[in-house]
Structure 1
Amino acid sequence: MKRTYWFIVVLFLCIVFLSGCGVNQQPITAETQGIWNHFFVYPMSWLLIFFAGLFNGSFGLSIVIVTVLIRFVLLPLMLKQQKSSRSMQALKPQMEELQNKYKTEEKKKDPKNVQNMQKELMALYQENGVNPMAGCLPIFVQMPVMMAFYFAIMRTEEIALHSFLWVDLGNPDPMFILPLIAGLTTFLQVRMTAFQLQGQMKIIMYIMPIMIIVAGVTLPSALSLYWVVGNVFMIIQTYFTVVRSIPSNVTDISK
């Protein structure tokens, strides 16, 4: 779980860094060369242009619709990831019991004891039908899709020429409303699953929203809109698939 969250944080920082440095900023077209561009980014751009055409050229509505569609397509993977997380959470007391069994300094120094602990952990996983890597695989499948959509928004030239609500999609929100909403919804989303985080990992609740806000005030409003829609979808999904399925005292992050 810890590695998964840090992977998401680092990946987001890399995306923002690449965007800020002007990497892959050239407009995407059907003629753009490269496997990543041709098979990942361009199809997302095509979807954005297609749905904008259905709604009188509204690229704002197009971003909303395509974001929701992608989230629905990825929903089975997200549910699989959440199921794996719940399974690992249920085994946590037994895992801690095993770790405490081999916790003394004398036992830590003996390689055999480390191997024995690993064997007992694997036996525990097999006995309960839990795969500790199952929660990571969906992340690696989802990330290329979400990154491709992110860069499609950045590199679809038509988006920068249109406005939606009070913002020009190609420029930062002058009133900072979308970045602030994106940061707030990010905080709510992470907080809803914060019971899965341990100790210092809970700082992610505050790091992620700050990163989103900072990125939102400097990058095009189209990206802030994308983050807001994606976050709202995830908040609703998390409420129905995670929060309602566990005891209320477990979701209390203060404990």
Structure 2
Amino acid sequence: MKRRVLIALLFVAVVAVLSGCGAMDPASNPIDPTNSWIDRYFVNPMSFLLDWFAVQFGNSYGLSLAAVTLLVRLVILPLTLKQYKSSKAMQSLQPELKKLKDKYKDDPKKQQEETMKLFQQNNVNPMAGCFPVLVQMPVLIALYNAIMRNPNIREHSFLWLELGKADPFFILPILAAITTFLQQKMMSSQMNAQMQMMLFIFPVLIFVMSLQFASALSLYWVYGNLFTIIQSYFIYVRPQSKEKLEIAAPAPKKKK
């Protein structure tokens, strides 16, 4: 539960940063790699990637965003797999953790020491679930700046959207909320009862924020959710289905 709250707080912090960025006039603040290290190492490379992919896809920044999203998600895939292994290990350690909690219920310090020792012995990192989100924080900030400060992207139209402005028909915010719910639902087997409430809180949060932000940023979020849904099927859903089939399958009869 604490980890989920931390992730939500980190996301809200990024929203606050992006809101501050939005208050600045993009035309008076063009991307300048010599101006700051953020422009040099994050915003300018992101803007270049979007421009380059757009050229490959017939000057379509909507498809360029899909390519950049896929690239980012493939880069953080090893961290996601590590998160999955850590979650499985945490589940298997729950009986041992309960024993430690009961044994040292009157000594919180000792309980924490023994818990960390148990994690180290089993190569479990309780913060592994935060890594993919942490990696995406600078990506979101760089993407927002690249969109708003690059006139080619900011003034580009894709389908019914003007990428530099919020969706006037609220279709994209609804899609962002639905896909967020679906990808959370597919990972719900890794959540305890307390964390289940995030299934509804996070999609609402995404919907409200998508009403305000540039469509390109919401589009990136929808693309990312679709990738995560497919990824979650192969990481979480499919292996569990196989396990259930193996358990349900009758044992082969021995020949007389």
Question: What TM-score comes out, normalization by structure 1 length?
Answer: 0.83
Query: How far, CA to CA, are the matches of 1:44 and 1:191 in structure 2?
Result: 31
Query: How far, CA to CA, are the matches of 2:206 and 2:113 in structure 1?
Result: 41
Contact 2:31 2:44 in 1 (8 A): yes
Aligned residue in 1 for 2:229:
235
Aligned residue in 1 for 2:38:
36
Q: How many residues align?
A: 241
Q: What letter is aligned with 2:154?
A: A
User: Are 1:10 and 2:5 an aligned pair?
Assistant: no
Query: How far, CA to CA, are the matches of 1:151 and 1:7 in structure 2?
Result: 24
Q: What letter is aligned with 1:80?
A: K
Report matched runs for 1:161-200 at 5 Å: 161-200=155-194
Query: How far, CA to CA, are the matches of 1:142 and 1:132 in structure 2?
Result: 19
Pick from 86, 111, 115 the counterpart of residue 109 of structure 2.
115
Quote how far apart the aligned CAs of 1:43 are: 0.5
Aligned residue in 2 for 1:51:
53
Q: What letter is aligned with 1:58?
A: S
Distance 1:193 1:249, change over 3 A: farther
Quote how far apart the aligned CAs of 1:194 are: 2.3
Structure 1's unaligned 5+ residue stretches are 108-112, 251-255
Pick from 100, 103, 120 the counterpart of residue 101 of structure 1.
103
Pick from 75, 78, 81 the counterpart of residue 76 of structure 1.
78
Distance 1:220 1:244, change over 3 A: same
Pick from 122, 125, 144 the counterpart of residue 128 of structure 1.
122
Query: How far, CA to CA, are the matches of 1:4 and 1:24 in structure 2?
Result: 33
Structure 2's unaligned 5+ residue stretches are 245-256
Query: How far, CA to CA, are the matches of 2:127 and 2:209 in structure 1?
Result: 31
Question: 3-state SS of the aligned residue for 1:126?
Answer: helix
RMSD between aligned alpha carbons? 2.5
Q: Percent identity?
A: 47
Cα deviation digits, residues 87-108 of structure 1 (max 9, x gap): 11221122122212233xxx2x
Distance 1:162 1:206, change over 3 A: same
